[in-house]
Amino acid sequence: MTKKISRRAVLAGTATVGGTTAGLLAGTPAPAAPLTKWRDGTSVPRPVAIPPSDGRYKDLVSAWNGRFIGQPDYVHVVHNAEQVEQALGIAVSAGKRVAVRSGGHCVEGFVTDPAIKVQVDMSQMTGVYFDSSRNAFVVEPGATLREVYKKLFTDWGVTVPGGTCPSVGAGGHFAGGGFGALARRSGIIPDHIYAVEVVTVTASGTPRTVIATRNAGDPNRELWWAHTGGGGGNFGVVTRYWMRSWGATGTDPTRLLPKPPREARNVTFIFPWAALNEATFSALVRNYIRWYERNSAPTSPFIRLSANMIAAHINTAPGVILTVVTDPAESDSAAMVDAFRAEVVDTVGAPVVVQERRYPWLQSTNAAGYADTGDVVGRRNKAKGAYLRSSYTDAQLAVTYRYLQDASINAPLAAVIFNAYGGMANALAPDATAVPQRDSVLKALHTIHWDDPAQDSLNLGWLRSFYRDVYADTGGVPGLNGITDGSFINYADVELADPTQNTSGIPWSSLYYKDSYPRLQRVKARWDPLNVFRHALSIELPS
C-alpha cells in the first residue's frame, strides 16, 4: 500500500499553528489543510512546527541522556502518517537532514547531531488498539512502554515482552529488537511484530506510506523484516506497528499476544561490598553466568525464572544486587528460586542480605526501571553492550573486580549490569528476524551516569578502559566467538566504529548484525535510496 503526495500538498500541510507559520517551513504562508479524523470521529490535530524561539523547543530537543541536546531549525510534531509525509516532503525538498524521535531514550546522539536540521517528533502518536481488519494490535511509535503495557493488559489481559524502563518509546525500542523481563518466557519484541506502517522516501524525493507484513507473499516483506531488529532511523519513519505473536492463531484478541503472570515475586540478594573480596566476587559472577549457560535452552523449565545482576561500583552502591523474578502462582516457583539460590548464592561463601516483595504484574512493570525517573533523567551517560554466550574467564572477572573498586570514580551510577536472556528469546532461527543473536544467554551493559560536564573525560575514560580490558582478548570489543556474540543495537555505541577503540578487525556492522547486515543493506537500497534516514551507526547503502 503506497500513497504519494505532491509538492503543493506538502506546502499546504502546515499552516499557522500555535504561533508558528508555514513560512518557517516552506518560505511562504499556505492555507490550512482540512483536518482528518481519528477512528472515533474526532478531529486529528494539525501538525505543529516549533522553532527555537518557542517555549516548548528546549523540552523537545533535550534528550534523556544529558550529554546531548539537539539544535534543529525546528521540531515538527506530527499525529499520523499523512503529517509525517508532509514533514518529510518539506524537509527533503529543502535539503535538510532529518531525525525522528519517539521516546528520547537513545544513549547516543543520533537525533541530536548538529547536522540534524529537522526533528520529527512522534510523541503525540500514542495509540494502542486492536485492529480487527488485520487481526492484530496496533502500537503507535510515541506510546511509552508504560502506556503499551497498561492498555494491552487492562483491556485484553495480554502484553509484549518489552523493556523495564517505562518511559521508553515504542518506536525505536521495537525496531531495535527490544527485550525485557519476559523475554525468557515469551521471546523478544520482534517475535511479535506482524506488520509495520512506514513512511519512506523514494529516489525522486517523494514521501510515501508503505505497509509491510510478515506474510510470505507480501512484496514488501523485507521491509517488515528489517524492522524486526534492524534498528531505528534506517529505512523510514514507522507510524504504526501491528503486534501478533509468530505462532498465534484464531481471532480472539486475548490469545494473540503473551499473557503475563498475575504477580511478580521479586527476591533480591544483596552482597555488601564490605563482605566481598576478589575471590568471592568472582565466584558470584561466575556462578551466575554459568547458571544461565545451563538453563537457557527454549525447552528448559527455568525459562520461567529471570534474574538480573547489577554489579555496581563500590562508590555507587553498597553491594552487588541480584534480583530473581518468578510467577508465584506456578506450583514449582518456590522450588525454582530455591534451586537458583543453592547454585548461585549459597556457594559464594559471603554474607548476603535477602529481601522479598510481591507486586501485581502491571505494578511490577513500573517498579523495575533502573533508569527511568528521578535524578537519572537528564544525567550524562555512556553505555557499551555485549551478548554473552558463556561465562567470563578468570582474567575477565579480575578486570571487572578491579574497575568496580577503582577509587578515582565517584559517579551516581557506574556498573556492569547483566540482563536475563536466552530461553524463548533463542527459539527462532537467526534469519527469521533481523536479530541474528539467537544463542546468547545474557546481555551485559557497561554503563556510567554523572552530572558534571567537567567529569566527562574521567568517566568516559573509565568506561572505555573497563570495556576494552574485559574484552582485551578480542580486540577490545565482544567478538563473535564462543564467549560473546557482538552487541545489541539498542545499546548503541559509536565507539564500536572507531578503530582506536575497536581493534578486533570486525566492523561495527558485524558486531551488531552479523550475517544479517548485507540483507539489511539491500532493504536500505530499495526503501531509502537517497539515504535520508542516517546517523552514526545507520545501515549503509551497498557500495
Would you give the distance in Å from CA 279 to the centre of its chain? 34
User: What predicted TM-score, i.e. pTM, was given to this entire model?
Assistant: 0.92
Three-state DSSP class for 100?
strand
Please state, in angstroms and as integers, the Cα–Cα distance from residue 536 to each residue in 9, 342, 426, 457, 497, following that order.
32, 45, 29, 21, 9
Q: What is the pLDDT of residue 145?
A: 95
Best CA proximity match to 180, nearest among 424, 360, 380:
424
CA distance 271 to 276: 7
| Tens digits of residue pLDDT in 459-470 | 999 999 999 999
**Tens of pLDDT, residues 260-308:** 999 999 999 999 999 999 999 999 999 999 999 999 999 999 999 999 9
pLDDT over threshold 90, residue 41: no
What confidence tens digit (pLDDT) does each residue in 119-130 have? 999 999 999 999
Place of cell 508555514: 22
pLDDT of residue 21: 33
76-119 residue pLDDT tens: 999 999 999 999 999 999 999 999 999 888 999 999 999 999 99
Give the 3-state secondary structure of residue 64.
Answer: coil
3-state secondary structure of 515: helix
Measured between alpha carbons, how far is residue 258 from residues 186, 188, 346 in Å?
7, 11, 34
Exposure on the CB side of residue 540, measured as CA atoms within 13 A: 12
How many other β-carbons are positioned within 10 Å of the β-carbon of residue 54?
17
Crossing angle between the packed helical segments 394-404 and 278-294, to the nearest 10 degrees: 130
